[in-house]
Amino acid sequence: LEVARKVREHRKEHTALLAAAAGKPKPKTPTEGNGARYRQIYDCGNKDTLPGKSVWKEGDTATHDRQVNNCYRALGTTYDFYKTVFGRNSLDDKGLPLKGNVHYKPDPSEAFGYDNAFWDGAQMVFGDGDGVAFDYFTDSLDVCAHELTHGFVEHSSPLKYWGQSGALNESMADVFACMVEHWFKNQKTSEANWIIGENIFTVEFKGDGLRKFNKDKAFENDENLGTDPQPKHMRDYVEGDADEGGVHINSGIPNHAFYLAATALGGYSWEKVGKVWYQTMVSGKIPRDCTFERFAETTVEVAGEVFPSDKAVGDAVKKAWEDVGVLA
Ligand code: ASN
Ligand code: ZN
């Protein structure tokens, strides 16, 4: 035993010497708060306490829990998207650590898993789904990116979560989530997937996804379940108090405008229209209670500033807002 210990120690020394000789820096363990990408995943164990138990932090190796692993990787892909495409260092542009909770259950006595995911102002939270219609929420990259983008909205232009400004908040979450997926899969607008949560349903549930950017009707037929019935034009705007004044419903209008502008220009969604949307959100010109019209006017203005010699961008953006009835 004593010999074995000595050999082990010697080996350690030997490895360190070899590394030093090869000029390799000793691997650094990433630490929270150093301003670089930092993720931490918590397991709520089907309870309602947040955060749950820490199970994977940046630099650790993968776990055997698919939800933990998916969440960690989706947070990483979303971080990389914002960093690579817009040069933004996390949600606050200051390296905010990304925290995700999985296996969350608001009512632990409930028989079925939780059918939602959300951003609570400081961290992401994901349910397991009921297992009958909804599957695990972390299976979907765009659902993860949607929740993270609520954090980006909060740190750029914190749109009040009610009525039109709330629908814009929801739309930003969907638009950037869609772009994360396009970027990750390197898809051009013509071949891209324009559905949020297309893989969130169980095998036997007949649904295309949670929200569609590109269809005029939400319900193609009676078999297509689970899709939010979103309008694509101001004439179908839904008034009322439900869903914070229809934040997940009327977001279909700005979502469709983004889709129309992005597909009209072609190429990659994040390169032109995506850049305009991003710059609009960080411009300081978007008030908390922003209306669709004010947001639309700002995107047209910003398009001219970001692409001064490419007039087609501003034109496509303006036409898209006209086509959904927001601008006249
Ligand atoms: N999944 C929803 C969202 O992020 C949760 C909610 O409405 N609070 O919009
Ligand atoms: Zn949302």
Domain limits at 178?
A: 163-323
Neighbours of ion ligand 2 (CB under 5 A): 173
pLDDT of 100-128, one tens digit each? 999 999 999 999 999 999 999 999 999 99
Mean pLDDT of the region 222-246: 88
Q: Are 269 and 178 in contact (CB under 8 A)?
A: yes
Q: Is the CB of 118 under 6 A from ligand 1?
A: yes
Where would I find the beta strands (DSSP E) of 105-158? 117-119, 124-126
Listed residue (109, 115, 118, 145) closest to 127, CA to CA: 115
pLDDT bucket at 13, cuts 50 / 70 / 90: confident
Give the count of alpha carbons within 13 A of 84, CB side only: 12
Give the predicted TM-score (pTM) of the model.
Answer: 0.90
Mean residue pLDDT across the chain: 93
Mean pLDDT of the region 16-31: 76
Mean pLDDT of the region 297-310: 98
202 and 275: one domain?
Answer: yes
Mean pLDDT of the region 278-292: 98
Query: What percentage of the chain carries pLDDT values higher than 70?
Result: 95
Amino acid in the structure at residue 70: N
Structure tokens that stand for 155 in this block: 């740190």
Q: Which positions ≥6 away from 278 have C-beta within 8 Å?
A: 85, 86, 176
Identify the nearest ligand to the CA of 170 by its number: 2
- The SS3 assignment for 172 reads helix
Question: Given the structure tokens 């765009």, which residue do they identify?
Answer: 142
Query: What is the structure's pLDDT at 219?
Result: 47
Is position 233 annotated as part of the catalytic site? no
In a domain, 308, yes or no: yes
Q: Are 238 and 133 in contact (CB under 8 A)?
A: no
In a domain, 7, yes or no: no
167 and 133: one domain?
Answer: no
pLDDT of 168-193, one tens digit each? 999 999 999 999 999 999 999 999 99
pLDDT for residue 166 is more than 60: yes
170 and 193: one domain?
Answer: yes
**Where does a domain end: 132, 155, 178?**
155
In a domain, 215, yes or no: yes
Q: For residue 318, how far is its CA from the centre of ligand 2 (angstroms)?
A: 25
Instruction: Look at the chain and report how many structural domains it folds into.
Output: 2
Q: Does residue 144 come out as left (phi exceeding 0), alpha (psi in the -120 to 50 range) or beta?
A: alpha
**Where does a domain end: 129, 155, 181?**
155
ipTM for the complex?
0.94
Q: For residue 313, how far is its CA from the centre of ligand 1 (angstroms)?
A: 31
308: cis peptide before it, omega within 30°?
Answer: no
208 and 86: one domain?
Answer: no
pLDDT for residue 129 is more than 90: yes
Q: Are 158 and 288 in contact (CB under 8 A)?
A: yes
Question: Given the structure tokens 């939270």, which residue do they identify?
Answer: 125
Interhelix angle 273-281/311-323, nearest 10 degrees? 80
